[in-house]
Amino acid sequence: MTAQPEALDHDHERPWADQEWAQFQQVQRMVSHWDRPGWTPGRGSYHWLVMLGHVPALTAMATHCQDQLRDLPHLDLVPTASLHITMQRLAFTDEVSPEVAAAVVDRVRRRCADFPAIPIEIGPLAGSPGAVRFSVGPPGPVSRLRDLIRESIAEVRGPAALPERASRFVPHVSIAYHNTPADARPLIQRVASLRHLPPAATVIQSVDLVELHREGHQYIASRHSQVFLIS
């Protein structure tokens, strides 16, 4: 039986979390997270991730929330060992050579040579049209780290090769992916009942380039390279 986390300190302001929650409350219909272009059977993708499956407070909080959500239809729960922040997609693995991926890692390592480790808080629970997820903040330092990764990709592959716009980035940790279009209200109500849980504090000390594959409704990651920040 999972121990329930302590109550949240409501005096601690988290404007980034309030904004994400307000946006999730406006969602009318959930969509399928898995309905994404480019993902064909057997095709892999290089992604920059912050791996967080080793953080005990996050694992406990995620397990508790998943236990309270697992009776809802259309949710694919994320294994706690795989919890992460997605920073930036590099490319599908058939679009870049291993040498290009290695060159990007080298640029990121150089740019992060004097970048300090980032203290963050993960939580409370919120969501998006395709997922249930914890807010992460403060977002500023995480976004700056992502900017360094994007600059490194642009330096190696050119600015046109960046897959997403920088303005769309909202750091988060997904604990469940939605797999079928459906009314969002029951899920939003259930998430609301879990927002009293305290955030998990940790420090981002590294960022990894991993190779992702989809097996059914689950991502499988194999580590490619790790870049450490200054502790």
Q: What is the pLDDT of residue 32?
A: 97
Q: Is residue 89 part of a domain?
A: yes
Q: What is the pLDDT of residue 230?
A: 83
Q: Is residue 3 part of a domain?
A: no
Tokens at residue 126, please?
A: 């919120």
Domain housing 42: 15-228
SS3 label, residue 82: helix
Per the listing, tokens 């929650």 go with 21
Q: Is residue 9 part of a domain?
A: no
Positions in the chain short of pLDDT 70: 1-12, 166
Distance in Å from the first CA to the final CA of the chain: 35
SS3 label, residue 22: helix
DSSP one-letter code for 11: T
Q: What is the pLDDT of residue 41?
A: 86
Q: How many domains does the chain have?
A: 1
Q: What is the pLDDT of residue 3?
A: 43
Q: Is residue 52 part of a domain?
A: yes
Q: Is residue 8 part of a domain?
A: no
Q: What is the pLDDT of residue 6?
A: 40
Q: What is the pLDDT of residue 163?
A: 76
Determine phi and psi for 200, rounding to 5 degrees.
-100, 125
pLDDT digits 0-9 by tens, 169-192: 999 999 999 999 999 999 999 999
CA 48 from centroid of its chain's CA atoms: 10
pTM exceeds cut of 0.85: yes
CA 10 vs CA 61, 152, 198: distances in Å: 17, 39, 9
Q: Is residue 112 part of a domain?
A: yes
Q: Is residue 5 part of a domain?
A: no
Q: Is residue 170 part of a domain?
A: yes
Q: What is the pLDDT of residue 17?
A: 96
CATH code of the domain containing 88 = 3.90.1140.10
